[in-house]
Amino acid sequence: MLETDKLTKKFKDTLAVDDVSLELRKGESVGLLGPNGAGKSTAIAMISTLLKPSSGDVRLHGKSVLKDPGDMRRVLGVVPQKIALYEELSAYENLKFFGRLYGLSGKKLEQRIGYVLDLVGLADRKKELVKHYSGGMQRRVNLAAAMMHEPEVLIMDEPTVGIDPQSRNHLLETIRRLNREEGMTVLYTSHYMEEVEKLCDRVYIMDHGKVIAQGTKEKLKAILSDQETVWIEFDQSYPELFKKLSEIEGVQHADADERSLKLIIPKGMRLLASLFHEAERHGAQVTNVHVQTPTLEDVFLRLTGRTLRD
Among 58, 76, 203, 205, the residue binding other proteins under the rule CB under 8 A is: 76
Query: Counting contacts by CB under 8 A, is residue 82 touching other proteins?
Result: yes
Interface of this chain with ligand ADP, residues 69 to 88, rule: CB under 6 A: none
Is residue 159 a contact residue for ligand ADP (CB under 6 A)?
no
For position 119 contacting other proteins by CB under 8 A, the verdict is no
Of 120, 145, 199, 241, the residue at the interface with other proteins (CB under 8 A) is: 145
Q: Which amino acid is at 92?
A: Y
Number of residues that bind ligand ADP (CB under 6 A): 11
- Residue 41 interacts with Mg ion (CB under 5 A): yes or no: yes
CA distance 154 to 149: 11
Tell me which of other proteins, ligand ADP, Mg ion, none is bound by residue 238, counting a contact when its beta carbon lies within the kind-specific cut-off of 5 to 8 angstroms. none
- Residue 246 to residues 160, 168, 253: CA-CA distances in angstroms? 34, 35, 7
Based on CB atoms, which residue is closest to ligand ADP, 38 or 116? 38
Q: Is residue 95 a contact residue for ligand ADP (CB under 6 A)?
A: no
37 binds ligand ADP (CB under 6 A): yes
Contact segment (CB under 8 A) with other proteins among 96-104, 221-229, 242-250, 255-263 equals: 96-104
CB-nearer residue toward other proteins: 49 or 160: 49
Question: What are the φ/ψ torsions at residue 171 (nearest 5 degrees)?
Answer: -65, -45
- Establish how many alpha carbons lie within 13 A of residue 85's alpha carbon, considering only the half-sphere containing its beta carbon: 29
Alpha helices, H only, the chain: 40-47, 70-75, 91-101, 106-120, 135-146, 165-182, 193-199, 217-222, 239-246, 272-281, 296-304
DSSP 294: P
Please, what is the minimum distance in Å from the beta carbon of residue 76 to other proteins? 7
Inter-axis angle of helices 272-281 and 239-246, nearest 10? 150
Whole-number minimum distance, CB 141 to other proteins, in Å? 12
| Count of residues interacting with Mg ion (CB under 5 A) | 2
Point out which span in 10-18, 246-254, 255-263, 290-298 binds ligand ADP (CB under 6 A): 10-18
DSSP-derived 3-state class of residue 34: coil
26 neighbors 12 (Cβ within 8 angstroms): no
In the complex, which residues of this chain contact Mg ion (CB under 5 A)? 41, 81
